[in-house]
Structure 1
Amino acid sequence: MDCFKLTYLLLFITLPLSAQNIIVKTNQRDSVLVKLDEVVLSANEILGSKFQARNRTGAAYYISPKELKKFDYTDINRVLRTVPGVSVYEEDGFGLRPNISLRGTSPERSAKITLMEDGVLIAPAPYSAPAAYYFPSVARMQAVEILKGSSQVQYGPFTTGGAINMLSLPIPEAFQASISGGYGSFNSSRIHAKLGDARERFGYAIEYLNFSSNGFKDLDSGGDTGFDKNDLVAKFRINTNPEARLPQSFVLKFQYSDEVSDETYLGLTDSDFASSPFRRYAASQRDQMTNDHLQFTGTHTFRFNDYFSLSTTAYYNKFSRNWYKLDGVSLNGQREGLSGILASPELFPEYFNLIIGNSDAASDALLVKANNRDYVSTGIQTKFDYHWKGAETFHDIEIGLRYHYDEEDRFQWVDAYGITNGIMELTTAGTPGTDANRISDARAFSSYALYKLKYKELTLTPGIRYESIRLGRRNFGSNDVDRTGIDLSTRENRVNVFIPGIGFNYNFENISLFGGVHKGFSPPTSREGEQAEESINLELGTRFSFWGISGELIGFFNDYSNLLGSDLAATGGTGSLEQFNAGAVNVSGLELLLNYNLLQNDPDFELPVTFAYTFTDTEFQNSFGSEEDLWGEVVSGDELPYIAKHQFNASFSLEHKMFDINLSGRYNGQFRTEAGSGSIPDEEKVASNFVIDLSGRYRLTQNLGLTANVLNLTDEKYAVARVPAGLRPGLPFNASIGVMLTY
């Protein structure tokens, strides 16, 4: 370990550091089987607490503010590793564009799960182009809610694996202000400021976040390989007097973010990764992602009485991005893709030498594509809730409606470069619109109805969702960059589907039994006649609390009748977003969560221990395909790629009102990068890894605290993916220290 790492470890040991929160004993609201009256959630929340998650009629998990503050991650991948049933594979080491799977759904660009912020769809174009090239900054989130199984039938359009809802900074009940800053490895820095207040009829909250890094990869030609991201959120609320006969409130939210990241799709060959895993080839020196995101939402809440409420949200999201990156190599008029070159460099030595800068080419050898796209996602949604009580019963009816429109506008081009002595020079500038020049759009009407019945210890929640979707595409062609329509081609696809589900929960003295069955659904593309992805999903589980140990054990089974795969450039495809039928697939698994406080009887200290384990088994039920399909040649019995069979996370925290120290270790099992069975060939495998993170916080005064974080404590060198092209490394040893001031 070099002096740099030793210095950070010594700082960590001498400042077992901590910032803002006084540690308190876990309250009853978060216990497993405590019986409480129904609580009223705000319009943007789904769960609102661990108690609600643990008493739902389906699997759900609530990552609380306290949990988020332990490590104060900026990487959503690291946050979600603690949740059973969630699989991720990393790409850039910083979590800028995560690949998330819930219960075996395809993880690529998190395109097969329902993503929300404050209850509003947040993917760039959730129906027409759901690949999440934008993902909200988890460092500014108050909590994260994860729903799986029958507990998420209200949330769509993707209902197979589940939904993730990110909860942003709430408007406080009284004046609050804080500012924090940190600095660490790779010239990484963070500034985070929050301000808010509330009066009887008015409230506001404002938040600014910047985090950046020079990057941990070494570019052959020199230069940064990191990123710089800004995020601003403002909320304003007006409301009636709390004692008004008909209480109402209106909350206006504004969010803006921008990002510049020197990221690439170009990875490494196996031999280069083994010798120098953090190398970046010379041909990626011009690669850069620029994007900005804008959101407006307005939420009106109307409470007629103690039993009847109505909330309505109008929303508008705009996302613009241009990922300018190496897309191919051309020699003597013959173009080769990056994946093929890196997979077999011995078959393409002239092409590979250009990529690594060992050969010169005067002109037009390196093809850099400007993946220039604009997205709009807008709509209005309303939720009606009515509940009443009987002698031994509780009834709740929830009805939701949403009209939604989204679109993706592609206006792309390819620039050609020469390379001399490892330095690239533009030789032929492309014309915008000549690579892709099309608009994909979707109009969707969604509705659902959910009925909750509580009778003594039994809870039943039958529900049904309806989706009516029209998907379209207008392709103007590469010869009509002015979009006059002379070469216009169009296509359209329509889907109307009912998505039923039912769940139950039964409480015994220290244990509960829950389960459910629901229909899984994922929309198709605009290609006429293409069928939607459908499945039948079952789960059965138990939650328990014995001798201070609490937890849950859940089994699930997803029976796909028509699994759809997507042609994404992020997975080594062409990036057309066309979907293809993978037929019948079975996905089954086991989720285990255990919690125990080793010092539960100590008045001053707590030592909570958490263990989470996920087992996932996948199997194609039919043979299909060819070498040209993204799945490859599939034989019945093959496993799905990109899904680890085994993964677990263990965490320990020593908590005191003045400080806390946190240790988290996560194991991610090996996984395939192509469909197959039996032992995994080395060239189709991402090996398992075990990574340990350490954090500490120390409260110097009531308003001043210190923080320290060490990510990848043992400096594990490991691969995280073979896509988009070649092997990619995970984040190496990364240490940071910080300070926080609160008022």
Structure 2
Amino acid sequence: MNTSTLKRVVVPWILATSAYAGWGFAEPTSPKLKTVVVVGTREQAADQPGSAHTLEAADLERAHVLSVNEALRKVPGVVVRDEEGFGLRPNIGIRGLNPTRSTKVLLLEDGLPFTYAPYGDNASYFHAPIERYERIEVLKGTGMLRFGPQTIGGVVNYLTPEPPETFTTAIDLSAGSLGYRRARAQVGGKGQLLDVVQKQGDGARDNQALKQSDAHYKWTHEFGSDQRLTVRASVLSEDSMVTYSGLTDAEYRNFGPAYNPFANDRFQIERFGTSATWATPLGTRSSLVSNAYYYEFHRDWGRQSSSTTDGQCGSTFTNARLAGTRVNVDACNSRQNRNRDFTTLGLEPRLQSSWSLGSADSSLETGLRVHRETQDRLQFNGDSPIATTGRLVEHNERTVDAWSGFLQNRFEFDRFALIPALRYENVELTRRNRLGSGARGRDRVTAWIPGIGLTFAVNPDTTLFAGAHRGFAPPRVEDLIGNNGGSVDLDPESSRNIELGLRGQLLDQLTYELAAFHNDFGNQIAIGSIAGGSTPLAQGRARYQGVELSARTEFAPTTRHGLSPFLEFAVTSMPVAEQRSALIRVDNRQIVAGSGAGRRMPYAPKQTASLRMGLGNPTWDAAIEGVFVGSQFADFANTEAALMLGNGQFGELGAVTLVNLSGNYHPQLSGWTFYATMKNVFDRDYIADRTRGILPGAPRQLVIGASYRF
């Protein structure tokens, strides 16, 4: 951001919000000092003007989820697609939006941006292990405008645990089938917590050894009774044999889902992140929460194929794959090394203030973000199957400078609350081609994003909520600016999102939420296939409509053995996920083959559901879980059957039901827990993805472990 922008925008915002914080017609109560809150506790979720869910530490530990994929399937409206069977690159979609690389979802950690390029390339090529997090929050609706830049699908916020004041140590070891091994250690005390995780496994396919290490440190310190500093730092690394290509239909039919010939592909990443949050009061009615964050992400990916139609190894190689013949990757004297370096940094102060106007109590939240991203992208094409360097064919520098601001105020009128919100995004994107003549291009995207929500307390146990807001997402740098420096005719994503719901409690034991949604896209950027697929990027009109229902209960002990039954479920029905116009290719302005009004959008199942139930007492608990994902199309033409010699990228993905088991035993030994879990109990073979060819879902897996806390 240049100096003139700072003078025009940042300084007036600080003066205006500071003046507002000190203004009020009646003496308000002092707001509670806190960090960035997305949803908050389950009790606080009742005040949200949109759908809000939390997965608590007890939920994650009792089910022994092995990845974020497993965890998020418990939330209605969320579809998570497996890729390598380990959850290292989750594909998260919300309310029908394509889950590929989680590009349509805003991912946060402790309320701060989590992905390496949320403005310029919002794709998830990594994910921290689920063990790092204590809670997960999922927010949809008008409340998303407090964050950004993505306000179209939903927000997923991962919360790290608070450091303890007393000395605590924990060790957790587990092992299982598919080569699974995991070791975790925690050490904390005096406001500090160090959490280290190392895990490895064989993944869902042949030639797919996976290994990830993660270390996370968090320190909190209170200055006096009303100021708090939180500092976080993390280091994550991965060294895996991961290919990008799926299977052709003939390969899948002849060799089975685990077949993967690409033994020379390798994926290596390192990610360093640090952030700080300073919370301080401003008088008796306001508080300021200031955040700073910095991330580095380095990725080297050497691979011999990016999809089943990739011609890197020649037409004979590709035709053999289409015919279902085994191929020898060592005979292919080519390996492309796609190396990426990302740097992301930003500042984000947030002001919270309470005030009164007549009989209405109000709470204001407003904030400003100054954000910068840089991408350095290289590609070396080698002339051997294991080459790590070669001819430089790409050297791109991409930069994003963004600033944004938001304001949300909650007006309370007895049982009724009105919550207007407004967000502004200003995004400057630059691309420079360091090869050839060094072409350079720049473009800008701006948007005002309004919204309004309301809640009404029908009775002490029931709340009605509703909201309407504009959805917005900026295009990627590479989609908006060509390699020759010219701007591409591509608009940001824009939608009108409407939601109506009811949440509450029945019989003091069952909590529930029911929500209906209508998302109408005036322009949707439709993902074809990331990095080398045959379906081009396109844009057009689309509409999504559906209903979500979730409930949970844990009954009081009903037998002399003190057993407590528990039950939780989440169901989504989305009858409408349609193309409202033919989708137009961005590269040549032609209609995407097969696209047309009335056809269903790809990767948008009509129904999804999860049900988990079990029994427990202080000594042990056991549960069974069922997960259902309805059938879905893999392409815009809604091809129903795979072609006999197809490339695996077209055809319907059949519905699948998976069953999981979990159990915990807490012996009369202080601090010990023994557990076991089995995923995909009946070992169902199913196709999880066809974006770059057929990718199978994770097979059956048994894991046993023990933890000790002292």
Same fold (TM over 0.5): yes
* Correspondence for 2:473: 522
* Correspondence for 2:308: 338
Q: Secondary structure at the match of 1:508?
A: strand
> Which amino acid in the other structure matches residue 582 of structure 1?
Q
* Correspondence for 1:231: 214
2:224 maps to which of 237, 241, 251: 241
2:44 maps to which of 52, 59, 66: 52
Q: Does 1:449 align with 2:407?
A: yes
Once the two structures are TM-superposed, the CA of residue 147 in structure 1 deviates from its matched residue by: 0.7
Q: Secondary structure at the match of 2:61?
A: helix
1:642 maps to which of 575, 595, 603: 603
Q: Do the aligned partners of 1:571 and 1:723 also contact (CA within 8 Å) in 2? A: no
Superposed CA offset, 1:547-566 (max 9, x none): 44431211101110111134
What is the alpha-carbon distance in structure 1 between the residues aligned to residue 38 and residue 444 of structure 2?
30
Name which of structure 1's ranges 548-557 and 591-600 shifts more when overlaid on structure 2. Answer: 591-600
> Which amino acid in the other structure matches residue 655 of structure 2?
S
What is the alpha-carbon distance in structure 1 between the residues aligned to residue 361 and residue 279 of structure 2?
23
What is the alpha-carbon distance in structure 2 between the residues aligned to residue 347 and residue 292 of structure 1?
33
Q: Do the aligned partners of 1:281 and 1:356 also contact (CA within 8 Å) in 2? A: no
* Correspondence for 1:20: none
Q: Does 1:596 align with 2:527?
A: no
Once the two structures are TM-superposed, the CA of residue 501 in structure 1 deviates from its matched residue by: 0.6
* Correspondence for 1:9: none
Q: How does 1:275-424 map to 2 (within 5 A)?
A: 275-282=254-261, 284-305=262-283, 307-327=285-305, 338-339=308-309, 349-350=319-320, 356-357=326-327, 361=331, 365-388=332-355, 393-417=360-384
Superposed CA offset, 1:97-135 (max 9, x none): 111111122311001211111111111111111111122
What is the alpha-carbon distance in structure 1 between the residues aligned to residue 690 and residue 453 of structure 2?
39
Q: Do the aligned partners of 2:249 and 2:322 also contact (CA within 8 Å) in 1? A: no
Once the two structures are TM-superposed, the CA of residue 349 in structure 1 deviates from its matched residue by: 3.5
Once the two structures are TM-superposed, the CA of residue 59 in structure 1 deviates from its matched residue by: 0.8
Distance 1:77 1:366, change over 3 A: farther
What is the alpha-carbon distance in structure 1 between the residues aligned to residue 326 and residue 454 of structure 2?
58
Superposed CA offset, 1:476-515 (max 9, x none): 12x5xxxxxxx21111111121101111111112422111
Superposed CA offset, 1:692-717 (max 9, x none): 11111111222111111111111111
Once the two structures are TM-superposed, the CA of residue 723 in structure 1 deviates from its matched residue by: 2.3
* Correspondence for 1:670: 631
2:453 maps to which of 485, 488, 503: 503
* Correspondence for 2:434: 476
Aligned length: 658
Q: Do the aligned partners of 1:594 and 1:611 also contact (CA within 8 Å) in 2? A: yes
Q: How does 1:22-37 map to 2 (within 5 A)?
A: none
Distance 1:497 1:317, change over 3 A: same
What is the alpha-carbon distance in structure 1 between the residues aligned to residue 284 and residue 557 of structure 2?
38
Distance 1:250 1:429, change over 3 A: closer
Once the two structures are TM-superposed, the CA of residue 267 in structure 1 deviates from its matched residue by: 2.1
Distance 1:695 1:41, change over 3 A: farther
> Which amino acid in the other structure matches residue 536 of structure 1?
R
Once the two structures are TM-superposed, the CA of residue 279 in structure 1 deviates from its matched residue by: 3.2
* Correspondence for 1:463: 421
* Correspondence for 2:117: 125
Distance 1:175 1:250, change over 3 A: same
Q: Secondary structure at the match of 1:187?
A: coil
Once the two structures are TM-superposed, the CA of residue 275 in structure 1 deviates from its matched residue by: 4.9
Q: Does 1:65 align with 2:57?
A: yes
* TM-score after normalising by structure 1: 0.83
* Correspondence for 1:206: 194
Q: Secondary structure at the match of 1:312?
A: strand
Name which of structure 1's ranges 390-399 and 171-180 shifts more when overlaid on structure 2. Answer: 390-399
Q: Do the aligned partners of 2:602 and 2:638 also contact (CA within 8 Å) in 1? A: no
Q: Secondary structure at the match of 2:127?
A: coil
What is the alpha-carbon distance in structure 2 between the residues aligned to residue 531 and residue 137 of structure 1?
35
What is the alpha-carbon distance in structure 2 between the residues aligned to residue 353 and residue 580 of structure 1?
28
Distance 1:182 1:392, change over 3 A: farther
* Correspondence for 2:675: 707
Once the two structures are TM-superposed, the CA of residue 605 in structure 1 deviates from its matched residue by: 2.8
Once the two structures are TM-superposed, the CA of residue 312 in structure 1 deviates from its matched residue by: 0.6
Q: Does 1:735 align with 2:702?
A: yes
Q: Runs (4+) of structure 1 moved beyond 6 Å?
A: 626-630
Superposed CA offset, 1:613-655 (max 9, x none): 1122211111244798895431111111111111100001312
* TM-score after normalising by structure 2: 0.87
1:720 maps to which of 668, 676, 688: 688
Distance 1:104 1:306, change over 3 A: farther
* Correspondence for 1:586: 543
Once the two structures are TM-superposed, the CA of residue 229 in structure 1 deviates from its matched residue by: 0.6
What is the alpha-carbon distance in structure 2 between the residues aligned to residue 359 and residue 390 of structure 1?
72
> Which amino acid in the other structure matches residue 357 of structure 1?
V
What is the alpha-carbon distance in structure 1 between the residues aligned to residue 146 and residue 230 of structure 2?
23
What is the alpha-carbon distance in structure 2 between the residues aligned to residue 512 and residue 496 of structure 1?
35
Distance 1:370 1:710, change over 3 A: same
Q: Does 1:652 align with 2:635?
A: no
What is the alpha-carbon distance in structure 2 between the residues aligned to residue 216 and residue 109 of structure 1?
18
> Which amino acid in the other structure matches residue 495 of structure 2?
S
Distance 1:41 1:639, change over 3 A: farther
Q: Do the aligned partners of 1:54 and 1:61 also contact (CA within 8 Å) in 2? A: no
Q: Do the aligned partners of 1:108 and 1:571 also contact (CA within 8 Å) in 2? A: no
Once the two structures are TM-superposed, the CA of residue 143 in structure 1 deviates from its matched residue by: 0.5
Once the two structures are TM-superposed, the CA of residue 567 in structure 1 deviates from its matched residue by: 5.7
Q: Does 1:97 align with 2:89?
A: yes
What is the alpha-carbon distance in structure 2 between the residues aligned to residue 259 and residue 360 of structure 1?
24
What is the alpha-carbon distance in structure 2 between the residues aligned to residue 429 and residue 216 of structure 1?
26
Runs of 5+ unmatched residues, structure 1: 1-36, 220-224, 329-336, 418-424, 480-486
Distance 1:297 1:550, change over 3 A: closer
> Which amino acid in the other structure matches residue 184 of structure 2?
H
Superposed CA offset, 1:543-585 (max 9, x none): 13334443121110111011113465357259xxxx9542211
Name which of structure 1's ranges 144-153 and 352-361 shifts more when overlaid on structure 2. Answer: 352-361
Once the two structures are TM-superposed, the CA of residue 742 in structure 1 deviates from its matched residue by: 0.4
What is the alpha-carbon distance in structure 1 between the residues aligned to residue 605 and residue 31 of structure 2?
38
What is the alpha-carbon distance in structure 1 between the residues aligned to residue 30 and residue 206 of structure 2?
55
* Correspondence for 1:21: none
* Correspondence for 1:24: none
The percent identity for this pair of structures is 26
Superposed CA offset, 1:348-371 (max 9, x none): 54565898236985xxx4532111
Q: Does 1:147 align with 2:139?
A: yes
* Correspondence for 2:235: 256
Q: Secondary structure at the match of 1:83?
A: coil
Distance 1:567 1:195, change over 3 A: same
Q: Do the aligned partners of 1:60 and 1:151 also contact (CA within 8 Å) in 2? A: no
What is the alpha-carbon distance in structure 2 between the residues aligned to residue 503 and residue 268 of structure 1?
46
Runs of 5+ unmatched residues, structure 2: 1-28, 482-486, 644-649
> Which amino acid in the other structure matches residue 707 of structure 2?
M
What is the alpha-carbon distance in structure 2 between the residues aligned to residue 631 and residue 189 of structure 1?
45
Once the two structures are TM-superposed, the CA of residue 273 in structure 1 deviates from its matched residue by: 2.3
* Correspondence for 1:534: 494
Q: Secondary structure at the match of 1:338?
A: coil
Superposed CA offset, 1:434-467 (max 9, x none): 2221011111001000001122111211110010
What is the alpha-carbon distance in structure 1 between the residues aligned to residue 656 and residue 107 of structure 2?
27
Q: Does 1:608 align with 2:559?
A: no
What is the alpha-carbon distance in structure 1 between the residues aligned to residue 352 and residue 555 of structure 2?
41
